[in-house]
Amino acid sequence: MQTITAGLAGTVLCVSSAFALHSGFVGADDECIFTKEFIQDYETAQKSVDTLKSAEPLLALLPKYRNPEEQAELEVSIGLVYNQRTGVVDPAKAVANFSRALEFNLPERTYIEICMWRGGSYEQLKKNPEALRDYIRGLLACSYRDLAGGWPEVLASTVPIYMNSEDPGNPQRVKDYQRYRHAIDLKRFLLMQRYFLIEAVKRVQADGAIADKALDKAVKELTPDSSRYEIISGLMKSENKRPWP
């Protein structure tokens, strides 16, 4: 039997052979919720985007795949095409697709990423107040997580974990370790995003000549939770150290 010490045993990633899906939707035990037909059509469309320098191949899938998760996946992916893909970048269209994606109940990680991506598109459009609000939305989401202690190290399991083991306790040990790894990966992600979001807020403030009072006003408009006001203000006033090694 092969021992698993640092990997995620049994995880089925929701990716195709060349293009990762972006919505972050997964089922129990992290299995992919999307059908093989959807993934095949999605991958074919993504390849055609690069060939045609157009988002039309992905847009054409919207009428075919109507489940909320499929619609959300397509809206996020189309937004990223308009946000990042060479020869197809169109920040106004990226904003529109990201906005439609945010109408769905997305996983927290995806929500924070879209706040960053849509904020960047707003910046390209010289809409600094709108960009600022998206970056603050991302920071607010990060602020509810305990990110103390800095960059976490990934540790090996303290108990043996095996692949294809007949030990009845092994599946639960695998799940326990997976939960640990998910927690570590999420904390790393949030630390990185918080760093980039703070940098983005500072950049937009400088470029748009946005005063601190306007920043404070935007925070208060975005959340009624007064406990966040001092937290966001403190983040902006503190040294923004790169969190990862």
Q: How far is CA 13 from CA 24, 49, 84, 148, in A?
A: 10, 23, 23, 29
DSSP letters, 64-101, are: T--SHHHHHHHHHHHHHHHHH-TTT--HHHHHHHHHHH
Residue 60 has pLDDT above 70, yes or no: yes
Q: What is the pLDDT of residue 20?
A: 81
Per the DSSP assignment, residues forming a β-bridge with 89 are none
pLDDT exceeds cutoff 60 at 212: yes
Mean of pLDDT over the chain: 90
Mean pLDDT of the 56-75 span: 97
Q: Is the pLDDT of residue 17 over 80?
A: no
Neighbours of 48 (CB within 10 A): 16
Query: Binning pLDDT at 50, 70 and 90, where does residue 223 land?
Result: very high
In this prediction, residues 222-244 reach a mean pLDDT of 95
What pLDDT digit, counting tens, does each position of 162-197 carry?
A: 888 888 899 899 999 999 999 999 999 999 999 999
| Residue 160: predicted pLDDT | 87
Find the angle CA(152)-CA(187)-CA(19) to the nearest 5 degrees. 110
pLDDT band at 97 (very low <50, low <70, confident <90, very high): very high
Model confidence at 27, pLDDT cuts 50, 70, 90, reads confident
Lowest mean pLDDT among 65-69, 189-193, 206-210, 214-218: 206-210
- Is the per-residue pLDDT at 87 higher than 60? yes
Q: Taking residues 196-213, report their average pLDDT.
A: 93
**Which pair of tokens denotes residue 41?**
């059509």
Spans of all domains in the chain: 1-106, 126-245
Q: Tell me the pLDDT tens digit for each residue of 129-154.
A: 999 999 999 999 999 999 999 999 99
Cβ atoms of 125 and 145 closer than 8 Å = no
- pLDDT of res. 2: 36
Q: pLDDT band at residue 14, thresholds of 50, 70 and 90?
A: low
